[in-house]
Amino acid sequence: MRRAIRLALVLAAKDLRVEFRTRTSLLSAAVFAALVLIVFNFARDPTAVATIDLAPSVLWVTVAFASVVAMNRAFTTERENAAFDGLLLAPVSREVLYLGKYLANLVFVLLVEAITLPLFVLFFNVGLGHALPGLLLTMLLATAGFVAVGTVFSAMVVKTRFAELMLPVLLLPFMVPPLIYAVRVSTPLFQGRPLSEVVAGLRFLALYDVAFITLSVLLFSAVVDE
Amino acid sequence: MIRLTDLTKRYGKFTAVDSINLEIRRGELFGFLGPNGAGKTTTMRMIAGILQPTSGRIEIAGDDMAREPVRAKSRLGFIPDRPYVYDKLTGAEFLRFVAALFGQEGAAVEHRMDELLDLFELSTWKDELVESYSHGMRQKLIISSALLHRPEVIVVDEPMVGLDPKGQKFLKELFRAFVERGGTVLMSTHTLDMVEEMCDRIGIINGGRILTAGTMAEVRAQTAHGDTGLEDLFLKLTGGITDREMDEILK
């Protein structure tokens, strides 16, 4: 088990090092998130819908699309020079390979969210105050789930001709449940309600994580071997 | 030692590799020949554990690739024709990464890495990003990475692509020295002169099936082609173009 975790961390560290040297995906995801927030900011009519009611949806729509942009990179670095074949011939199980890729993607998407959140606060003038710990927990739980699915799908589509197009088509339906619950949890938090009121939503997100991380680990081997 | 038993790979209805049986012993350099699309690369990718066979068995130094993939792979070094590298890592970072995947870290890895980089004249480039390497340098880097964990078996696909004559000579000597120390080399190439010069035994594959395997003398005897060279033998077995057909094309 310790060996598996160490190997997964080695794989994730390599991915993050390569990404931070290119910065293309991180920058494009961050710029994309900023653009979406700007568009929403200027398109909304504050007299029609209260900012506090609209803000959670805007935040999660932005996070969802920026995450797809970010996750597209997961296997494209491996496609160059057929580097993924190099990983497949290493004495590392497919499950550990998945875990390494998953960890790198998770850190990467969380970074994109860390850039998005202050921009969101800036554009929507939403005071996070005591909602911040709950919101961060929601972001972690929701992201952990859809990144698990996204990692499998990005491995699946990377060899196809339209990988960048295929990933959102496949992934977005699976992102709907965690996004709905993330919005449901975030709304009361933004309204200043206590964390105890959203426990059911957080529980659903945790359940989704367990189910889809397990399923993704099991499916990954079949995806990369065919 | 590499042992293939009824090894088969199918893609839908197409059979790329059809029930191959082959044994490559310790201390043997085996030349794997065949025309384009014959099934060589598919076979080698299955041996390396990149592709899963549809059926059949692969053993690397006694370890079954399906049952004990981690053990089998840790005994093997694979050198592809196209170097699997990351442009945004330095040569040293790439080698450290590969070593870590093989469970090796620390001072011993640094020492082994320096030894290999010296051997392949890459020491001055080790802290440069791989994107600045030439194809030959990338090939040397990938060969270094395949030797890093001291494998017992080397599987190599077109080893000389991109290497200068000095590098080619060095690699030939390296493979010979490796098998003389009890290692096993399975080498796929289209350079028939090199096969005649270096290999202990050869196998010719076409249409996913092994047509013949053995020493040059055995292959000649099996195919009843007398004293012909490897090139003629290869073309006769795999259906190469004749002089008359060439004349027709060029008319």
Is B73 an interface residue toward A (CB < 8 Å)?
yes
Is A7 an interface residue toward B (CB < 8 Å)?
yes
Chain segment A168-219, per-residue pLDDT in tens = 888 889 999 999 999 999 999 888 888 888 999 999 999 999 999 999 999 9
* 3-class secondary-structure state, position B131: helix
Instruction: Give the mean pLDDT of B99-119.
Output: 91
Using a CB-CB cut-off of 8 Å, the residues of chain B touching A91 are 69-74, 101-103
Instruction: Give the mean pLDDT of A107-133.
Output: 87
> So where are chain B's domains?
2-75+152-250, 84-150
Instruction: Give the mean pLDDT of B93-120.
Output: 92
Say what the pLDDT of residue B84 is. Answer: 86
| Pick from A96, A208, A187: nearest CA to A134 | A187
| Pick from A65, A76, A77: nearest CA to A29 | A65
Say what the pLDDT of residue B246 is. Answer: 65
Interface of A with B in 68-107 (CB under 8 A): 77, 80-93
Instruction: Give the mean pLDDT of A130-158.
Output: 91
Kindly state the DSSP code that residue B129 receives in the 8-state scheme: B
Judged by CB atoms closer than 8 Å, whether chains meet at A91 and B82 is answered as no
Q: Is the pLDDT of residue B237 over 90?
A: no
Using a CB-CB cut-off of 8 Å, the residues of chain B touching A14 are 86, 89, 97
Q: Is the pLDDT of residue B155 over 90?
A: yes
Instruction: Give the mean pLDDT of A99-112.
Output: 93
Judged by CB atoms closer than 8 Å, whether chains meet at B89 and A17 is answered as yes
Q: Is residue B227 very low, low, confident or very high in pLDDT (cuts 50, 70, 90)?
A: low
CA distance B22 to chain A (A): 21
Average pLDDT over all residues of chain A = 88
Q: Is the pLDDT of residue A135 over 70?
A: yes
CA distance B69 to chain A (A): 7
Chain segment B80-91, per-residue pLDDT in tens = 888 888 999 999
Using a CB-CB cut-off of 8 Å, the residues of chain B touching A22 are 88
Question: Which fold, B2-75+152-250?
Answer: Rossmann fold (3.40.50)
CA distance B58 to B3: 6
CA distance B71 to chain A (A): 7
Say what the pLDDT of residue A81 is. Answer: 72
Question: Can you tell me which residue has the tokens 């592809």?
Answer: B80
Domains in chain A: how many in total? 1
Using a CB-CB cut-off of 8 Å, the residues of chain A touching B74 are 91
Q: Contact, A178 vs A146, CB < 8 A?
A: yes
**Nearest residue in chain B measured CA to CA from A14:** B97
Interface of B with A in 33-52 (CB under 8 A): 45, 48-52
Instruction: Give the mean pLDDT of B111-137.
Output: 92
- The minimal CB distance from A85 to the residues B80, B87, B97 is found for B80
Chain segment B54-76, per-residue pLDDT in tens = 999 999 998 999 999 999 999 99
- The minimal CB distance from A83 to the residues B84, B101, B102 is found for B84
SS3 content of chain B, % helix, strand, coil (to 5): 40, 25, 35
Residue A200: C-alpha distances to residues A55, A180, A206 (Å): 21, 13, 10
Say what the pLDDT of residue A52 is. Answer: 78
Judged by CB atoms closer than 8 Å, whether chains meet at A89 and B98 is answered as no
Which residues are CB-neighbours of B243 under 8 A, at least 6 positions away? none
Say what the pLDDT of residue B244 is. Answer: 59
Structural domain range at position A117: 2-225
Using a CB-CB cut-off of 8 Å, the residues of chain B touching A85 are 45, 50, 80, 84
Say what the pLDDT of residue B243 is. Answer: 59
Say what the pLDDT of residue B225 is. Answer: 62
State the virtual CA torsion across B58, B62, B64, B65 in degrees, nearest 10. -60
Residue A204: C-alpha distances to residues A7, A102, A191, B85, B118 (Å): 30, 21, 21, 41, 56
Residue B33: C-alpha distances to residues A129, B93, B241 (Å): 70, 34, 17
Mutate which: A81, A93, A221, vs B, most B CBs within 10 A? A81
Chain segment A34-51, per-residue pLDDT in tens = 999 888 888 877 777 777
Q: Is the pLDDT of residue B156 over 70?
A: yes
Question: SS in 3 state form for chain A?
Answer: CHHHHHHHHHHHHHHHHHHHHHCHHHHHHHHHHHHHHHHHHHHCCCCCCCHHHHHHHHHHHHHHHHHHHHHCCCCHHHHHHHHHHHHHCCCCCHHHHHHHHHHHHHHHHHHHHHHHHHHHHHHHCCCCHHHHHHHHHHHHHHHHHHHHHHHHHHHHHCCCCCHHHHHHHHHHHHHHHHHHHHHHHHHHHHCCCCHHHHHHHHHHHHHHHHHHHHHHHHHHHHHHHC
Query: Cα-flanking dihedrals φ and ψ of residue B206, to 5°?
Result: -155, 140
Say what the pLDDT of residue B82 is. Answer: 84
Judged by CB atoms closer than 8 Å, whether chains meet at B84 and A86 is answered as yes
| Pick from B203, B239, B234, B237: nearest CA to B218 | B203
How many residues appear in chain B?
Answer: 251
DSSP symbols for B67-109: TSHHHHHHTEEEE-SS----TTSBHHHHHHHHHHHTT--SHHH
Using a CB-CB cut-off of 8 Å, the residues of chain B touching A225 are 51-52
Using a CB-CB cut-off of 8 Å, the residues of chain A touching B50 are 85, 88-89
Q: Is the pLDDT of residue B242 over 60?
A: no
Q: Is residue A6 very low, low, confident or very high in pLDDT (cuts 50, 70, 90)?
A: very high
